[in-house]
A and B are shown apart, each in its own frame.
Chain A
Amino acid sequence: MRRRPTEVRLLAGTLLASGLMIAAAAAQTAGNDDLVEMQANAANVVMPTITYDAQRYSKLDQITTQNVGKMQVAWTFSTGVLRGHEGAPLVIGNVMYVHAPFPNTVFALDLDHDGMILWKYEPKQDPSVIPVMCCDTVNRGVAYGDGKIFLHQADTTLVALDAKSGKVVWSIKTGDPGKGETGTGAPMVVKDKVFVGVSGGEFGVRGWITAYSIADGKQVWRGYSEGPDSDLLVDPQKTTSLGKPIGADSSLKTWQGDQWKIGGGDTWGWLSYDPKLNLVYYGSGNPSTWNPVQRPGDNKWSMTIWARDADTGMAKWVYQMTPHDQWDYDGVNEMILADQTINGQEVPILVHFDRNGLGYTLNRATGELLVAQKFDPAVNWTTGVDMNKSSPNYGRPAVVDKFAPGSAGEDKNYQGICPAALGSKDEQPAAYSPDTGLFYVPTNHVCMDYEPFRVSYTAGQPYVGATLAMFPAPGGNDMGNFIAWDARTGKIVWSDPEQFSVWSGALATKGGLVFYGTLEGYLKAVDAKTGKELYKFKTPSGIIGNVMTYEHAGKQYVAVLSGVGGWAGIGLAAGLTDPHAGLGAVGGYAGLNNYTALGGTLTVFMLPPS
């Protein structure tokens, strides 16, 4: 009953949607689109997060719990690229935009003609960028705005393509791959700007988010994760952390000497946006190196949730989840924005499932921490977050030394740490259904041994300094779970075990369904209320892409990119090791090559013609 206001709004949205479909097609040529309106039209998917709030929820309801069992393949499309395929296509009117990993091909497909190719863009990039990309040459998608398609290429070229012709409107360089800066994340467009982050945490790259003018690619602002206040774009008095001003030199004070200059905190995850508050949200990644002994201090503001003013970039609030990271628990995972009733009050919340295994609920207007609980019971590096506001450790996780590499020095193997470096969840985004009030989270159930040791920095060379071995969490062989989570209480509602880590982004729909993909290659549909599996289909390769849905000519479709790779592909070619021997890094994934092989394919599903 409490959810009634949301339902009313959704109904209004659905009614609006049909009218907007026509408006959206016309707007393509009109210049400045109103993306806030476009993203509310469920027929389209105009941004990588589906909607600005990153809920990955669709109001489309033709495919339901009742009929999903009859779903069948409508058509398929090969990208011609072998490497790992993350992200998802966009759909605007009758055109679908599909991206691929390096060489970062983009296709515009005509939905009126079974996906006929309208145009193809394939940049020429220096292949020397390939080895600078940690963990495969993935790309998480393109963004749309002002009649243009924006792509952040591997070599950090940000290009704006004419959505109609595929011709380059403008092209700029955001970073220097010679120093290890690369592009893997999907851009996001807000008003007249396009936001882009950078990858390179394993190369000592200092992270940033930059806003460029969508008209000509001119830089408007850049906010770094680390460094002096002027670089961070913070106001020592007005920018807060857990309700208090962060003060002057908040980052510099937490690093030894100049280490912040090669301090990581990269920004390769997803962005979300609240139009009412005009704030952009994202997370910063791991501090460099992976040897924590070499970088004493809290290493701010790596591992941090950021809320920035979309116009100026000025940070409104920050919250560091994992001070002085000792595990490579990047904080880049998506920030999902929802409105839920907590203790009788409707709160504008931000929900984040971190690599560190904690599910956080914050007030996204103020940055107040409301809930921080483990979303995988295997998590053992912390006993929990201090929620006592008067405690000097308020908001900090209590660290278990035995499972904290570096706590007893380097050159020591710290064993049985959960989760592993890839986290209880990685970049694959979760979904939220306002119908059930639950979050749907693809998770990893993997642990590790971790030995940190001395490493030296050379620009453009890996800056790691640790060896780690991964294996399934104790008590079973399953390496993943797909869970439903209540962010108001911080509790798992149901959990579907999976043999391999779930490395695909989820999708929730008004049809009472949640979709996700598996590393073996299955697209699955489950009942949002119970987690009961209602449909599965094996696509040509393992799925590390995100499921999306759209409507074309009055019919609902579901689509997903398959094409195994990324971190999961690193162990793919190797044979399976006995996980209980505690050896064999990524050994668990190795069994994958008995199920799937490389190759990028888009599979589009529909209900059979009645």
Chain B
Amino acid sequence: MQRLLRAVFGISVALVISAGAYAVTDGSGDPAAVKSDDGKWTDKDGNPTFKIQPDGTVDWYTKAGFLRYSSECLRCHGPDGMGSTYAPALIESMKHLSYTDFYGIVAGGKKDISASQELVMPANGTNKNVMCYIDAIYVYLRARGDDAIGRGRPDKVAAKPDSYSKAEDQCMG
């Protein structure tokens, strides 16, 4: 049975990858990294984005985003942004959410109440564990949504930029 499941999953991965090959834009437009400010990458419109080297090395923010996502968001949105029984799969949401939309929902929360379910996302605006890392979380999810990285912990990661540590210290207090 386990083997069968893995085979089914294999097919779905293949489908995602082939679909991903055609998706050049997401909710914030073209994700291609054009500019780096000490390892913090932005796209042509100035939105935070990921940078993946040809050998698979991901930028530090993508990895930091994975860690913070997994501690702050996973318990509702599921592992690797893939959704749970009661919260949407963010790898799908990222296809239509802009950086501004994303920021607004994370900071302000969201309610989706219907007759059958009450889905409620808290406002994280005062939560340092989220807001100090919001760009990293965004970059990580953007990479997941664009299928630029797979499930699980990124294993090859660029060095931690000094400016990251400084900003973290300042923000977390």
Residues of A with Cβ closer than 8 Å to B?
82-84, 102-103, 127-128, 130-132, 134-137, 202, 290, 413, 449, 451, 453-456, 458, 461-469, 477, 499, 564-565, 569-578, 581-587, 590-591, 594, 598
Contacts and interface: CB of A to CB of B under 8 A. Distances in A.
Contacts of B122: 128, 131-132, 461
Interface stretch (B3-11, B32-40, B54-62): B3-11
B107 interface: no
Nearest to B124: A461
Given A574-B80, A576-B5, A587-B79, A455 B153 contact: no
Contacts of A572: 78, 84-85
Contact of A573 (B1, B66, B75, B89): B89
Contacts of B66: 467
B173 A453 contact: no
A82 B116 contact: yes
Contact of B86 (A569, A582, A585): A569
- Sorting the interface of chain B by its residue count into under 10, 10 to 19, 20 to 34 or 35 or more gives 35 or more
A584 B152 contact: yes
A336 B152 CA distance: 39
Contact of B85 (A469, A576, A577, A598): A598
B44 interface: no
Given A456-B128, A462-B127, A464-B72, A584 B85 contact: no
Contacts of A499: 1-2
B129 interface: yes
A587 B80 CA distance: 10
Contact of A571 (B79, B120, B172): B79
A464 B129 contact: yes
Contacts of A582: 152
Given A467-B67, A578-B6, A131 B120 contact: yes
B53 interface: no
Contacts of A469: 70, 79, 152-153
A15 B80 CA distance: 57
A429 B8 CA distance: 34
Given A461-B126, A462-B72, A570 B85 contact: yes
Contact of A455 (B71, B126, B152): B71
Contacts of A131: 76, 109, 120-122
B111 interface: yes
Nearest to A136: B86
Contact of B75 (A135, A137, A451): A135
A461 B172 CA distance: 14
30 contacts: A83-B85, A84-B85, A127-B113, A130-B118, A130-B120, A131-B76, A131-B121, A131-B122, A456-B172, A458-B128, A461-B127, A461-B129, A462-B75, A462-B129, A463-B129, A467-B70, A499-B2, A565-B86, A570-B75, A570-B79, A572-B84, A574-B78, A576-B5, A576-B6, A576-B8, A576-B9, A577-B152, A587-B79, A594-B5, A594-B8
B52 to A, nearest CB: 17
Given A82-B116, A131-B121, A455-B71, A573 B129 contact: no
Contacts of A84: 85
